[in-house]
Structure 1
Amino acid sequence: MSNNAIVSRVENDRVLVLERIFDAPRDLVFKMFQEAEHLKHWWGPKGWELPVCTVDFRPGGVWHYCMKCIDPNQGSFYGMESWGKGIYKDIVESEKIAYTDYFSDAEGNLNDSMPSTEITITFIDLDGKTKLVNHAEYVSAEALKTVMDMGMLQGITETWNRLEERLNEVK
């Protein structure tokens, strides 16, 4: 698997597993997920920014953010905002982050018309590199299909490409 390749597989019709190897130490990759200042530089697909990002990185804490399309070449997406809210469930320093991911509004109210996701991110040390495994469980196969149809796989690929760029800037 090359560093830029994401390996994806679906398990039980409602679990999406994504994996990628980053050429950076595990502690640094983990840090990219725990600090708003880092997330603002890479979270979201190409052409999107994070003008709002607050992180209370602890079990029970909340990560609330807004992704905004700033690329006029993205047509009807230009200027669009997409709000999200994560509620952390379990954190093991440099090893694992588990949270429930929701679509929300600017006030943090959950959007019940969109599927939530149970996310577990595992950080595996590979002698100075890091294998990132993102395990996303949905309530149903239909919920997984909804986010896949929204272009989630392309979005996460572009997001992780931006993470790679950020890692190269700070290491």
Structure 2
Amino acid sequence: MTDLVITRIFDAPRHLVYRAFTDPDQLAAWFGPIGWTVPRDTVDMDVQVGGHQRFTMINDEDPSQTSPANGTYVEVIENELLVGEESVAHIPAFGTDVMRLRLEFFDEDGGRTRLVLTQGPFPEQWASGAREGWGSSFTKLDKVLA
């Protein structure tokens, strides 16, 4: 088992990058790797400790392929930190009951933002696919923030 850690610099101020993760319209506009979309009507968020984030990614070529997400926020500091947990007990290959996603937002020079994403634990063989998925999603996020 391993935790995935990704650091990414976005050419946008911290409050806008944070909003991309917490505003349902924004999340639907970019989330999911290229080839997947998140229909706005599937997004439901209550961004506070104990609140939830629910949405469904749908494969563009085969809409019968879906990937629902249903997380609970366990830490929230506006424009600084989002931490969520999601049950993965229904996926035996994970070997754990809960996966955690931690997003830390930092100011960078020039009005940019450094995001540090930590997600896991993952089975070793799944971590590279998750890294590729986030990278692809962040390419879409770059366009939304531009």
Q: Pick the TM interval, shorter chain.
A: 0.7 to 0.9
Offset of residue 111 of structure 1: 2.7
Structure 2 counterpart of 1:113? 92
Aligned match for 1:38, one of 26, 40, 51:
26
- Residue ranges of structure 1 left out of the alignment (5+ in a row): 1-12, 73-77, 104-109
Q: Is the 8 A contact 2:37 2:57 kept in 1?
A: yes
Residue in 2 aligned with 1:69? 59
- Match 1:126 to one of 88, 99, 108: 108
The amino acid of 2:112's aligned partner reads K
Taking only aligned residues, the RMSD between alpha carbons, in angstroms, comes to 1.7
Q: Name the structure 2 match of 1:17.
A: 5
Tell me the number of residue pairs that the alignment of Structure 1 and Structure 2 aligns. Answer: 139
Indicate the SS of the match to 1:137.
Answer: strand
Displacement of 1:148: 2.6
TM-score (norm 1): 0.75
Question: How big is the shift at 1:154?
Answer: 1.4
How far apart are the structure 1 equivalents of 2:139 and 2:86? 21
* Counterpart selection for 1:155 from 124, 133, 138: 133
Tell me which residue corresponds to 2:14: 26
Q: How big is the shift at 1:146? A: 4.6
Partner deviation per Cα, 1:45-85 (whole Å, 9 max, x = no partner): 11211121111111101111100011x3xxxxx22111111
Kindly indicate whether residue 84 of structure 2 is the aligned counterpart of residue 92 of structure 1.
no
CA distance in 1, matches of 2:59, 2:140: 15
Identity of aligned pairs, percent?
Answer: 28
Spell out, residue by residue over 1:30-50, the C-alpha distance to the aligned partner (whole angstroms, 9 max, x if none). Answer: 011111110000000112111
What one-letter code is carried by the residue in structure 1 that aligns with 2:48? R
State the distance in 2 between where 1:164 and 1:126 align.
16
Q: Which runs of 5+ in 2 are unaligned?
A: none
Map of 2:123 onto structure 1:
144
